[in-house]
Chains A and B, each alone.
Chain A
C-alpha cells in the first residue's frame, strides 16, 4: 500500500503555478465567500459612509459630512476614549495575567492539568451567559463579589452602577477569557529548547533571570501574536457592555461598537455607522501596525 502511494507521489507532476484553473477551483469557495461577504459589503459601507442612509430610504450623497459630524460629536469621543481605555487595560493586564498563569502551569506541580482545564473552560461559555452571570456577581447588594469583599471588611463598590467602577468591572470580567492565551503561552513555553535553559544554568542564571533572558525572548512571537489578537478583539468589544451596562452609567462604558450598532439599527443612520466603522478599521490597522513596528526589536524569531 505504501509503495503504491510512493509511486503515485513520485509520478505526480510538479505543482503548477498559481494560475492553474484547478487551483482557482479549489480556492473558489473561500474566494467567493470573501468577495460576497467581505469585499463587496466593505466597499458598499465605504460608499455609504459618504451618504445619509437609513436602510429604509435610498442613500443620499453628502460627501464627508458624516466624518465631519463624527469629529464634532462628543459621544463619538466618549466612545473612542472608553474603547481605548478598555483596550489598553485589558490587553496589558490580560497579557500579564495570562503569561503569569501559563508560567505557573508549566511548573509541573500537582493538579496543573485540572487547573489548565478550569482556566480554559470559560472560553467555551457563550458570552451572553457569562455576561449575565457576571452581572449578577457584580450586584452591589446581593452579588457574590461584594459579599466576599464585605466579609473581609473591604469596601463594596457599586460595580456596574457607579461610573468610577463600571469600566474596571468590565476589564476584570474580560480576564474570564484568558484561557486561549494561556494555552498558546503554555505551548510556546514547552517549545523553548532545553539547551537554552542548560546554557543559562551553566552561566549561573537564577529563576528570574531564566525567565527574563530565556523564556520571554523565546516565546516573544507567541506574545506578539496574542497581543495583536487581543488588541483587535478589545477594540471591537460589544457584547459584555451591551448586556451588563448598556453603555452606562453616565456613558462610562459606552464603547465604540455600541455606538456603531445604535447608530445603524436604533437611530436608522447606517451612513454614520459606516463612517464610524471605517474610522475604526483605519485606527485598528494603525494601532496594529504601530505594535508590529515597536515589536521588531523585542520579538526574537528562531532560525529554522
Chain B
C-alpha cells in the first residue's frame, strides 16, 4: 500500500491546531520543581516567603539548609518576594498563604488584630521559652496585646558613624565623638566645607542624609510618639517638637536648599562606593550596623568610629544610650497548610545560634538576651558592641504598637520635610497629631464593630 503526497497533505488549520495543542500540553505538563531538586523523598514541603535577596538571601538560605539537613520530616523552600507586605496581604486575604512569611516588626499590630498572624502561644512550647529568650524590647515587638504573634529574624538600632581622619583634620579628637546634640552641631560646623558658590563640598552632619528614619529623632530628645497605656498618639509632645525645632535650626544653619541638594545627590548611592560616608563626602552619618559590611567592601581603609547617636544636652542619664529598636519578624499566617510544621521551623529560627548565624551574615546585632562570646568575637563590625548597648539600654524604645503606624510614620516623614523647608514645628506636629489620632480612633472603633459582629 502506497501513500500519495495528496493523502499526506495537512490543512493549515490542522497544523496550527496541532502546534497549539502541543504548546499547551508542554506548558501544562507536570514537571519537578527546581526548588525541590535534591529533596529527599517523603518530606513535607514548607514555603517560606522572605524579602531578602542577594547576600542577605544567601545567608538565610544557609540557615534553611542547616534546618533541612537537621531533620527528616520537613523541607523548607525559600521564596524571595519583593514588596512582601502587600503580597502577603493579598495571599492571606485570598486564602492561599505560604507556610511562613517574613515581615517587618511594624506589621505585627495589623496582622495580630486582623487575626492574620497565628498566636504563637497556641502552639506546644517544647524548648521555646518565649519572653525569656529575647531582649525586652524585642519581646515588645513580637507581641501584641500580650500575645506573641511573631518570631524575630535579626534586629537593628542606629548609631553615629564618624570619620576619624576628618576629625583630626578639623582639629577634633578622633577618640572623643560628640555625645550631645550641642556637640554634634559644633563638631558638624567645624567639619562642614563649602565651595565658593556656597554649595556643600563636605557635610559635617546632616539629619536628612539619608532621610530614612525621619521619626527617629524624637527618641534623642525624650519625645514619645505613642502612649501605649492610653493608646493615643503623642506627636505634639514637647520632646517631639524640640526634635523638629532642632531639625529646623539645622536646616537654617547649613542652608535649606544647599543641604537638600547635597542630600539629593546621594539619594541613589547609599551603600554604594559613592555613599556619602564611604566616599568621604559626609563626616558623620546615622546608619545601622550593616554599614560596616559596605565600608569593608568599598573602602576598607576608611578610618572611622561608631558611637551612640548624641542626645539632647538637657536629658537625664546621658550615659544610657537611646534610640529605636526595630526588627524583621517571621509569622505563621492564618490559613497556612502546615501550621504545626511551620511552628517547628519557626522555633528553629528562634534558637540563639540560628539568630547569631543570621546576624553575623547580615552584620546586625543579636535580638537574643544571651549572646555568645564567639558572636561578638566573630562579628564583621568591630563596633557591634555600640549597637548591642543601645538595644539593651533601658532608655531604648520601640516603634508605636499601632496598626496605623505606617500611615503615622509617613505623616511624620511629611512633617520632617515641611519643617526642613521652613514650616513651624509645633503647628506641623499639631496637624500630624490630629490626623494620626483620628486614624487611631477610627481603627479602634472599626475593630470594636468587627468584634461585635463576631471576629475578623
Contacts and interface: CB of A to CB of B under 8 A. Distances in A.
A116 interface: no
B414 interface: yes
Contacts of A69: 442
B110 interface: yes
Contacts of A248: 417
Interface stretch (B166-174, B218-226, B242-250, B403-411): B403-411
Given A56-B92, A250-B417, A140 B264 contact: yes
A55 B261 contact: no
Contact of B89 (A141, A160, A251, A268): A268
A266 B406 contact: yes
A52 B264 contact: no
B34 interface: no
A122 interface: no
Given A57-B114, A250-B421, A136 B456 contact: no
Given A60-B450, A135-B268, A162 B257 contact: yes
A141 B265 contact: yes
B260 A56 contact: no
Name A's interface SS: loop
Contacts of B410: 262, 266
A162 B261 contact: yes
Name B's interface SS: helix
B86 interface: yes
B453 interface: yes
A81 to B, nearest CB: 15
Nearest to B418: A250
B110 to A, nearest CB: 6
A224 B302 CA distance: 60
B116 A56 contact: yes
Interface in A140-164: 140-142, 158, 160-163
A60 B453 CA distance: 9
Contacts of B66: none
Interface in B100-120: 110-111, 114-116
B252 interface: no
B93 A56 contact: yes
Contacts, number: 94
Contacts of B449: 60
B18 interface: no
Interface in A68-104: 69, 74-75
B237 to A, nearest CB: 22
A52 B446 contact: yes
B414 A250 contact: yes
Contact of B406 (A62, A249, A267): A267
A248 B211 CA distance: 11
Interface residues of A, number: 33
Nearest to B281: A141
A58 interface: yes
A166 B83 CA distance: 25
B263 interface: yes
A161 B251 CA distance: 14
A54 interface: yes
A149 to B, nearest CB: 13
Contact of B261 (A60, A135, A140): A140
Given A162-B260, A249-B260, A265 B450 contact: no
A249 B261 contact: no
B414 A57 contact: no
A57 B450 contact: yes
B404 A141 contact: no
Contacts of B267: 135, 160-161
A168 interface: no
A139 interface: yes
Contacts of B417: 248-251
Given A55-B90, A57-B116, 20 more contacts: A54-B93, A55-B89, A55-B92, A56-B116, A74-B431, A75-B414, A158-B260, A160-B267, A161-B267, A162-B257, A162-B260, A163-B421, A249-B417, A250-B421, A265-B85, A265-B89, A266-B85, A267-B406, A267-B407, A268-B406
Q: What are the 7 tightest A-B residue pairs by CB atom distance, in nearest-first order?
A: A161-B264, A265-B86, A55-B93, A56-B114, A158-B261, A141-B265, A250-B417
Interface of B: 83, 85-86, 89-90, 92-93, 110-111, 114-116, 199, 257, 260-265, 267-268, 403-404, 406-407, 410, 414, 417-418, 420-421, 431, 435, 442, 446, 449-450, 453, 456
11 contacts: A54-B89, A56-B456, A69-B442, A135-B268, A139-B264, A140-B264, A163-B421, A251-B414, A251-B417, A265-B83, A267-B404
